[in-house]
Structure 1
């Protein structure tokens, strides 16, 4: 084991030079350190020089060598962890930071990084244990409290998230991001008034676009549309908001009639489907309306009333007089209630034929059990195919999957592949999806763009919703949607509990809600129908 030469004057000079990013001088200091016999320290500092320039591949072998020569140095193990994280080797980085925290429990940065790494790579139990151990040693650290509260919120542990945010804000009452995320945790816990107070406090402290947007989501979920859309319109000011498809002035009410307005999608496909209804409002005001949507929506969007043309990212720019992002359009166009522009407002094209159902089938039901895994709320909103298994024993039903991606692969590998027809090869775009939905008696879907599509077509659909982290469009604790009257909502009573939701769906089907009545079932106005709206029972483990 080499001597600890970290206090050598040349080592201190190198650290100062690295701090002011004079890397050539720092390398020269390392050369002199080597000549002075402090070879191990020179190796370590060369690794830090490369690490400071984000050259993880060059820094890793140097830091690894230094760590092997001086295994008791916590600073070397810590920075080796940083380099491993930069190289995408997060589990190895976590191992390094565990070594640091065991040798130097007061190394706060190591605890912070370890907690984040475990949160990203390990299970819920290990994450909770690591954060709790860190907070035992550093009980008032702002970053640990904030990150732990956010982790609990993502895991659906709303009560613990609320408690942690409360603890955080008592110590750091001017921390605007803490107030913002406390509002999210309180919303998930169903404490809407307290969530609104926290979010408004965040706005007072920072006036951030994110806090305004979150306030909009809170208000819209409560049906406070005029005020909610005013705050929701801040979305296009978020740091990660997409720019307009091409340069044009932002729309204002002073724009003369006859002008060409680009109404463009600045969110996902489901948002675009919902707000395509606003094209008609622009036309009613005398504008020529061009819409910009995702490529797969092109044919479908062309069926919206008032649309003069549809462009996608694959099309060349068009000459327009103004642009209007869909997220800002409801506020600027004065939309203050959902019923103003009721479906159906989209139509399907020529349908591909559904696979023939079994002769005894009396109802055709489509299924979507998972959304885009990249969606921020996918952990809560998506379910597994196996969660729907109780439905497949119901007789006289022809089941069809409208699931794409991994979900379609899961069906092909499942015991139900012969019971559920896979329509994914027919789903070439949203227009084809619309045509297939038009041939179904019912769609059962989690909160995805397919549910929006069924609603925009005016087709019957049952939407299965998570507890807490529910999109604003579905309101709070209601069985119907103001935006889509043909939809019926089935809500979890406990986070992650899809079992009782599926039981409620099965009861509704047995009671004839799809036109199939089973012998001995209660009528549709019985208690069984109530269960189909709000699931009951204990959460599953």
Structure 2
């Protein structure tokens, strides 16, 4: 049949041939559901989002009870961040057929991105009600529970994340995975995972483990090696490339809150818990006499799933540069191409990036500053771990560790949080920071109160 040839061309990524066949079929039968749906799918694969939406909308006018058509329309709107439209489409699909587990999963992510946390939780619970073994749904649900402050269920479900679930297969000696039993007098190897900020946040557990008589070894990526040489309680430090002698048990760093049964009241929040080990410090460009020194970071990793939510533009931060008695420094590594030229041409900003070889260098620079202002990046965690004042700009729906409310962090006492009131809009947070910088006295923390 011709539709089978069109599908074969689609599977072979011969999209032009598939389109030609579909157009021939529509000339004969203009209302063919399978052809209209396939044309939408081809446009989606080609990144022709407006065309895909048009095909699905045409299909749904003729077949208003075709649940898959609404789901495909929702998927397309989601791809271009048309979240309200995507939500409406998925809800219509599920009203027609609530068995679509993937649709519940996608709708859950949309609710999450829109800041509709209870609705997102309900969606992921619906997924798990239909498929209890969908680990990604469980680990995503855990992040939402943690965001709400439900540490008991959140950290337990976070053990379903891929790095923990597959640990026995991805790291030697699966029989040595630590379950939380006493390790006094024994060696515990802690494995960093995910982002640099995650490792910086959760090495806070090392000193208390060492105080309980555990010999703690830590394995991290090379950019963190020199920084963690100043970690109290760390007996040995390994790079991900180093061979490791025999150990007694191992665990992922981000499993420690679960293994230690951490609650909101028992977070190890004493800072600083990182200290600079002796190395040759990079030169620090001095500020004019009497000026405060403020470091800036306005964007995170472009590969992060929520980068568009959590990163800001240099143009937003640039609004502060006219403030008197403040010298601004850039701690931004690898600025976006659209920002790099503007930074180079900005005489009111001193760029420290060329001197930042690793996180030790960044920490050394932070120690010279009076204040760090950053979006949600590893630098914010680093400033907090060093016990330095930092102001952190957060998306309307932030990462779980910042919670949903308040201007203080339970994890980092010296951090102050500036939250978006509307998704994608930094204007209020930028203005609030400017207001606090303008009359800035001797204490950055009091300025943020």
Q: SS state of the match for residue 416, structure 2?
A: strand
Is residue 219 of structure 2 the alignment partner of residue 292 of structure 1?
A: yes
Q: In the alignment, what sits opposite 2:92?
A: 167
Cα RMSD (Å) of the superposition? 3.1
TM-score, length-scaled by structure 1: 0.72
Deviations 1:282-320 (A, max 9, x none): 324432111111111112223223211111222113311
One of 135, 141, 148 as aligned partner of 1:222: 148
Q: In the alignment, what sits opposite 1:258?
A: 185
**How far off its partner does 1:467 sit?**
2.3
Shift of the 99–441 alpha-carbon distance from structure 1 to 2, 3 Å rule, reads: farther
**How far off its partner does 1:500 sit?**
3.0
Q: SS state of the match for residue 139, structure 2?
A: helix
How far, CA to CA, are the matches of 2:342 and 2:76 in structure 1? 33
Q: In the alignment, what sits opposite 2:406?
A: 478
One of 274, 277, 284 as aligned partner of 2:204: 277
Shift of the 511–229 alpha-carbon distance from structure 1 to 2, 3 Å rule, reads: same
Whichever of the two has the greater Rg, that structure is 1
The answer to whether the 8 A contact 2:121-2:141 is kept is: yes
Q: SS state of the match for residue 160, structure 2?
A: helix
Deviations 1:112-161 (A, max 9, x none): 4234335xx457x6665565445445555555544543554565544333
One of 112, 115, 133 as aligned partner of 1:190: 115
How far, CA to CA, are the matches of 2:155 and 2:53 in structure 1? 37
Shift of the 138–358 alpha-carbon distance from structure 1 to 2, 3 Å rule, reads: farther
Q: In the alignment, what sits opposite 1:407?
A: 336
TM-score, length-scaled by structure 2: 0.86
Deviations 1:252-284 (A, max 9, x none): 234542221111122111111111112234324
Deviations 1:225-270 (A, max 9, x none): 1221111121146788795443342112345422211111221111
How far, CA to CA, are the matches of 2:100 and 2:116 in structure 1? 21
**How far off its partner does 1:508 sit?**
1.6
Within 5 Å, give how 1:360-371 maps onto structure 2.
Answer: 362-371=291-300
How far, CA to CA, are the matches of 2:169 and 2:195 in structure 1? 14
Q: SS state of the match for residue 305, structure 2?
A: coil
How far, CA to CA, are the matches of 2:330 and 2:87 in structure 1? 38
How far, CA to CA, are the matches of 1:263 and 1:283 in structure 2? 12
Structure 1 stretches of 5 or more lacking a match? 1-5, 7-72, 86-92, 517-522, 531-541
Tell me whether 458-467 or 152-161 shows the greater mean CA deviation: 152-161
The answer to whether the 8 A contact 1:77-1:96 is kept is: yes
Shift of the 365–116 alpha-carbon distance from structure 1 to 2, 3 Å rule, reads: same
How far, CA to CA, are the matches of 1:242 and 1:501 in structure 2? 44
Within 5 Å, give how 1:298-377 maps onto structure 2.
Answer: 298-337=225-264, 339-342=266-269, 343-349=271-277, 350=279, 351-359=281-289, 362-377=291-306
Deviations 1:416-450 (A, max 9, x none): 43221111111111111111111111111111111
How far, CA to CA, are the matches of 1:156 and 1:514 in structure 2? 43
Is residue 434 of structure 2 the alignment partner of residue 506 of structure 1?
A: yes
One of 188, 201, 204 as aligned partner of 2:129: 204
How far, CA to CA, are the matches of 1:138 and 1:239 in structure 2? 42
Deviations 1:147-200 (A, max 9, x none): 543554565544333323322222232322322332332233333223222222
Q: In the comparison of the two structures, how many residue pairs are matched? A: 436
How far, CA to CA, are the matches of 2:325 and 2:42 in structure 1? 54
Q: In the alignment, what sits opposite 1:425?
A: 354
How far, CA to CA, are the matches of 2:381 and 2:63 in structure 1? 46
Shift of the 451–132 alpha-carbon distance from structure 1 to 2, 3 Å rule, reads: farther
Q: SS state of the match for residue 261, structure 1?
A: strand
Q: SS state of the match for residue 410, structure 2?
A: coil
Shift of the 491–259 alpha-carbon distance from structure 1 to 2, 3 Å rule, reads: same
The answer to whether the 8 A contact 2:43-2:51 is kept is: no
Tell me whether 399-408 or 202-211 shows the greater mean CA deviation: 399-408
More relative contact order in 1 or in 2 (CA 8 Å, sep 6+)?
A: 2
Shift of the 507–154 alpha-carbon distance from structure 1 to 2, 3 Å rule, reads: farther
Deviations 1:203-235 (A, max 9, x none): 221112112212211111111112211111211
Shift of the 244–78 alpha-carbon distance from structure 1 to 2, 3 Å rule, reads: closer
How far, CA to CA, are the matches of 2:383 and 2:359 in structure 1? 11
**How far off its partner does 1:390 sit?**
1.2
**How far off its partner does 1:331 sit?**
0.9
The answer to whether the 8 A contact 2:67-2:92 is kept is: no
Q: SS state of the match for residue 435, structure 1?
A: helix
Is residue 392 of structure 2 the alignment partner of residue 463 of structure 1?
A: yes
Within 5 Å, give how 1:392-403 maps onto structure 2.
Answer: 392-403=321-332
Deviations 1:488-540 (A, max 9, x none): 11122222212332222211211326759xxxxxx96xxxx79xxxxxxxxxx
